[in-house]
Chains A and B, each alone.
Chain A
Amino acid sequence: MSALIEARELRRVFHQGRSDQVEAVKGVSLSIAAGQVTVLRGPSGSGKTSLLALLGAMARPTSGRIFLGERELTSLPERFLTEERRRTFGFVFQQFNLVPGLSARENVMLPALPLGHPRAGLARRAGALLERFGVAHRAAARADRLSGGEAQRVAIARALINEPAVIIADEPTANLDSVLSGVFMELVGTLRASGKTIIVASHDPLVYESPLVDRVISMRDGRLEEPAP
Chain B
Amino acid sequence: MILSPAVIALVGGAVVGAALVGGAALQGAIILRGWDPKSGSERQVELERRTALVSTLVELALGFQLLALFLFVYTADALAPQFTGAMCAAGSLKADPHGYPALLLMLAAAIAAGLWLLVDGADGLGHDYPLLRAKYLMLLGLAPLVVAAAWWEVAWFRGLHPEVITSCCGSLFSRTGRGVGAELAALPPRLAGALLFGAVGGAVLAALGFRRSGKGALLLAALSAAALVASLAGMVAFVSPYVYELPTHHCPFCLLQREYHFIGYPLYATLLGGSVAGMGVGLLSLLGGAESLVTALPSRQRRLAGLAALLLGSFAALVAWAVLTSGLRG
Answer yes or no: do A and B interact: yes
Report which A residues bind B (CB closer than 8 A).
8-9, 11, 60-65, 74-80
Contact B45 A61 (CB under 8 A): yes
Q: List the 9 closest A-B pairs by CB distance, nearest first.
A: A65-B40, A63-B42, A80-B127, A64-B40, A75-B48, A63-B45, A76-B127, A63-B41, A62-B42
Q: With a CB–CB cut-off of 8 A, which chain B residues contact A11?
A: 42
Contact between chains at B127 and A63 (CB < 8 Å): no
Within 8 A of A (CB), among B13-69: 37, 40-42, 44-45, 48-49, 52
Asked, given contacts A74-B45, A75-B128, A77-B127, whether A63 binds B40 with beta carbons under 8 Å apart, the answer is yes
B37 touches A75 (CB 8 A): yes
Minimal beta-carbon separation of B100 from chain A (angstroms): 41
What is the minimal beta-carbon distance from A22 to any residue of chain B, in angstroms? 15
Check B49–A60 contact: CB distance below 8 A.
Answer: yes
Q: A63-B40, A63-B41, A75-B48 are in contact. List 7 more A-B contacts (CB 8 A).
A: A60-B45, A62-B42, A65-B40, A75-B44, A77-B124, A78-B52, A80-B127
Instruction: Write the chain A residue with the least CB distance to B123.
Output: A77
Task: Output the least CB separation between B1 and chain A (Å).
Answer: 43
Which chain B residues lie closer than 8 Å to A65 at the CB level? 40
Q: How far is the CA of A65 from the CA of B124 in the complex (A)?
A: 21
Q: Which residues of B contact A80 (CB under 8 A)?
A: 127
Sorting the interface of chain B by its residue count into under 10, 10 to 19, 20 to 34 or 35 or more gives 10 to 19
Are B42 and A8 in contact, with the CB atoms below 8 A? no
CB-nearest residue of chain A relative to B47? A75
Q: Answer yes or no: B129 CB below 8 A from chain A CBs.
A: yes
**Shortest distance from the beta carbon of A86 to any chain B beta carbon, whole Å:** 15
Q: How many A-B residue pairs have CB under 8 A?
A: 34
B contact residues vs A (CB 8 Å cutoff): 37, 40-42, 44-45, 48-49, 52, 124, 127-129
Query: For B40, B41, B45, B129, which residue has the most chain A Cβ atoms within 10 angstroms?
Result: B40
User: Are B124 and A62 touching (Cβ within 8 A)?
Assistant: no
In the bound complex, CA of A147 to CA of B49 (Å):
41
Residue of A nearest to B129 (CB): A77
CA gap between A11 and B41 in the complex, in Å: 10
Q: Is the CB of B45 within 8 A of A62?
A: yes
Distance from B324 Cβ to chain A, minimum over Cβ atoms (Å): 45
| A190, B129: Cα distance in complex, Å | 40
Closest A residue to B37 by beta carbon equals A75
* Nearest CB on A from B294, distance (A): 15
Residues of B contacting A78 with CB < 8 Å? 52
Asked if B52 and A74 make an inter-chain contact with CB atoms under 8 angstroms apart, the answer reads no
Q: Which residues of A contact B48 (CB under 8 A)?
A: 74-75
A77 touches B52 (CB 8 A): yes
Contacts of B49 in A (CB 8 A): 60
Residues of B contacting A77 in the complex (Cβ-Cβ under 8 angstroms): 52, 124, 127, 129
The residues of B that contact A61 with a CB separation of less than 8 Å are 40, 45
Contacts A/B (CB < 8 Å), 17 sampled: A8-B40, A60-B45, A60-B49, A61-B40, A61-B45, A62-B42, A62-B45, A63-B41, A64-B40, A65-B40, A75-B44, A75-B48, A75-B128, A77-B52, A77-B127, A79-B124, A80-B127
A113 to chain B, nearest CB (A): 23
Known: A61-B45, A62-B45, A63-B45. A74 touches B40 (CB 8 A): yes
A63 to B49, CA, bound (A): 12
Interface centre among B41, B45, B124 (most CB of A within 10 A): B45
Chain A residues contacting B37 (CB-CB under 8 Å) are 75
- How far does the alpha carbon of A11 sit from the alpha carbon of B42 in the complex, in Å? 9
A76 to B125, CA, bound (A): 11
CA–CA, A43 to B88, complex, Å?
A: 75
B310–chain A nearest beta-carbon distance, Å: 26
Expressed in whole angstroms, the Cα–Cα distance for A134 and B45 within the complex equals 44
Q: Which residues of chain B are near A9, meaning CB under 8 Å?
A: 40
**Nearest-Cβ distance from residue A149 to partner chain B, whole angstroms:** 40
Q: Report the minimal beta-carbon distance from A82 to chain B, rounded to whole angstroms.
A: 12
Minimal Cβ-Cβ distance residue in A for B292: A80
Whole-angstrom distance between the alpha carbons of A61 and B44 in the complex?
11
Question: How far apart are B44's CB and chain A's nearest CB, in angstroms?
Answer: 8
| Chain A residue contacts of B52, Cβ below 8 A | 77-78
Residues of A within 8 A of B129 (CB): 75, 77
User: Which of A60, A63, A75, A76 has the largest count of B CB atoms less than 10 A from its CB?
Assistant: A75
Name the B residues within 8 Å of A62 (CB-CB). 42, 45
Q: How far is the CA of A62 from the CA of B44 in the complex (A)?
A: 10
* Residues of the A chain whose Cβ atoms lie less than 8 Å from the Cβ of B127: 76-77, 80
- Taken together as a complex, chains A and B put the C-alpha atoms of A78 and B53 apart, in Å, by 11
* A9 and B239 alpha carbons, distance in the complex (Å): 66
